[in-house]
Structure 1
């Protein structure tokens, strides 16, 4: 089977399942030109070291949100950004910073590379000692824990110790290197008293690790990291405690994105109605973060929860429904992919009036199902029926949500 056929079949099967696919994205593109332009502008700002506001995208279910995110991820990688796509779920609730860190690191993709992003780009550092020195200089000035300055110092000094260097990279990804080992290695280079390794609980270091990761990627030749958080609406099934933690996490990402030189661009995506049903109405989660008139809390930390709420309440970028002309263009493109995938010629059937208000995902799956029948009987005119699926709104208890062992 030739490569083009395999690629076409992969695209069709992804479209049939309603999941994002690089193969489908590369051949279909996007009709969301306004959001595309806004995203490109944000990439340029982050790449130039400027602060920017995170992107928030809203769409009705099945109208191409995940496809747009896959398209945007491909855009970012072509522009030399590391990217990470993550779906909010019981396994990745936004309420745990350390779980978020590990998910972001695990899903990170480096442009033009395969495998673990940080390990792939780290190979470029050995040939550029000045870049690592620049990273250490950033760490000296940045408001991060001394632990990470120590780790970067060790990474620079122990060039021949591949095992230690791998452990340091794992620490940045959320698998902490023991303090005993760090102290021992510092002692070997006469720096035992140079760094304060007394640290808070691991979740409180998660955000520092994300900042270090972003800067690590930058000195390795990338422009920063773009992190996609999809399906925020799943937070609606979490407990109040977890939702509050989620808003606080969103607020931190907003705050760091608006920091010059951070090299971090978060993109949040949700279905239409999440804010009205959970943030401003019904549950009124925003009341948990009623403004006190100050920008920081009593412990000197920003009110991240309020920052997150305000970001979601602001006017999100709304996916536009494709025009009939755009829909027909998409249909012809998918037809061409289908014919290449299976080596057949298929017909375009008239669109039933009942499909007028259906989502583009629904229509794509209908077209593919019709062509499946035609492959076996070209004269057959299928009658495809479907029904909407109601999703459970039952609350997920805290015990069912992911809780990393390092969270305590």
Structure 2
């Protein structure tokens, strides 16, 4: 098994963001952190925060910012569900195809994945009984029955059956994922509403829904497909006890603003118009990932080098090389944070002895 510190370095080396140390790796983001905490405070009071749209191009720190939202939410006692959207496998106009991804990526406390999260809750029969009773009057019959089945299995100690029960297909959404019928779209949204209500009744302060790469909405076939996507997005905004956070680029802004000002707005469903209204009336909350200033880059270099030495204590002195990497990056007009982290890790890699004992 790879030690956590080395696993984190592998992720950084690939240009992505590890969950381990995400807050340490965040610099110059005080305004964003304040916005996140303020929205979580609103959600905790059982009110609906304004959806947050994180706008940035490749390598600007958009996905990093989404990971930061996730980390702060979990740390504060909220659950999270997330999906990376694309028109082929996780399209925004078919929430029934999105649900398995979101179920797989649900997190609460130390638990990850719907089997782990629900399995942990099922171990406390009193808590799960209270949760089922609390939301019973608004439960969707099939998912409520599936949860009750799993509860009954757990209460009888039949843990072996829990893992193979067909009820899991209902909770994960895989039973409806491969159907394009409109009623399945509605069913998927109702199941999401049930899941977020259940998790909150079972102890979470709320659920943060994270969607990355929403700009792929422009890959959908036509205006009708986009109208259906706006309807689904409006349905996500309406989920009880949730806050929605979207990662977008300028591509999405061009598409949604054109659609919101066209006749598509009036042709959209009620939920679709709810989503488009933000853009039609300029009420959206846009936030760009924080720019990394020179002093922030030096601070980030110290953090990354420290994490590298935790992973590889045998690494030689590379402070000069790391400072050189920061200096070269600062002279590049793009100032891409992802390339900065890669350059720092590369400088540390060159200072680490090869397995045979010689320097790289």
Question: What TM-score bracket applies, with the shorter chain setting the length?
Answer: 0.7 to 0.9
Tell me whether 1:269 sits opposite 2:269 in the alignment: no
Tell me whether 1:331 sits opposite 2:308 in the alignment: no
CA drift at 1:155: 6.5
Sort the Cα spacing of 1:276 and 1:339 in 2 relative to 1 into closer, same or farther, 3 A: same
Query: What secondary structure, in the 3-state scheme, does the structure 2 residue paired with 1:201 have?
Result: helix
Sort the Cα spacing of 1:337 and 1:147 in 2 relative to 1 into closer, same or farther, 3 A: closer
Query: What secondary structure, in the 3-state scheme, does the structure 1 residue paired with 2:189 have?
Result: helix
Deviations 1:241-284 (A, max 9, x none): 4433322222222233xxxxx2222211112x12443223xxx3
Please report the TM-score for the alignment, with normalisation by the length of structure 1.
Answer: 0.71
Per the alignment, residue 81 of structure 2 pairs with 84
Query: What secondary structure, in the 3-state scheme, does the structure 1 residue paired with 2:16 have?
Result: coil
CA drift at 1:26: 4.6
* Residue number among 79, 96, 99 corresponding to 1:98 in the alignment: 96
Deviations 1:349-397 (A, max 9, x none): 43136424321111221222233334469xxxxxxxxxxxxxxxxxxxx
Whether the aligned pair in 2 keeps the contact of 1:53 and 1:254 (CA below 8 Å) is no
Deviations 1:148-181 (A, max 9, x none): 565566667775477589544542331459xxxx
Per the alignment, residue 58 of structure 1 pairs with 55
Query: What secondary structure, in the 3-state scheme, does the structure 2 residue paired with 1:69 have?
Result: helix
CA drift at 1:125: 4.0
Please report the TM-score for the alignment, with normalisation by the length of structure 2.
Answer: 0.80
Whether the aligned pair in 1 keeps the contact of 2:100 and 2:173 (CA below 8 Å) is yes
| 1:365-384 aligned within 5 A | 365-375=342-352
Deviations 1:74-100 (A, max 9, x none): 111112222123211221111102112
Structure of larger gyration radius: 1
Per the alignment, residue 357 of structure 2 pairs with none
Tell me whether 1:244 sits opposite 2:227 in the alignment: yes
* Whole-angstrom CA distance in 1 between matches of 2:168 and 2:272: 30
* Residue number among 361, 364, 368 corresponding to 2:338 in the alignment: 361
Per the alignment, residue 123 of structure 1 pairs with 122
* Residue number among 169, 190, 200 corresponding to 1:218 in the alignment: 200
Per the alignment, residue 233 of structure 1 pairs with 215
Whether the aligned pair in 1 keeps the contact of 2:56 and 2:248 (CA below 8 Å) is yes
Whether the aligned pair in 1 keeps the contact of 2:80 and 2:107 (CA below 8 Å) is yes
Sort the Cα spacing of 1:374 and 1:120 in 2 relative to 1 into closer, same or farther, 3 A: same
Sort the Cα spacing of 1:137 and 1:114 in 2 relative to 1 into closer, same or farther, 3 A: closer
* Whole-angstrom CA distance in 2 between matches of 1:238 and 1:7: 39
Stretches of structure 2 lacking an aligned partner (at least 5 in a row):
355-360
Matched pairs, number = 334
Per the alignment, residue 309 of structure 1 pairs with 276
Tell me whether 1:346 sits opposite 2:318 in the alignment: yes
* Whole-angstrom CA distance in 2 between matches of 1:122 and 1:242: 37
Deviations 1:189-213 (A, max 9, x none): xxxxxxxxxx983322111101111
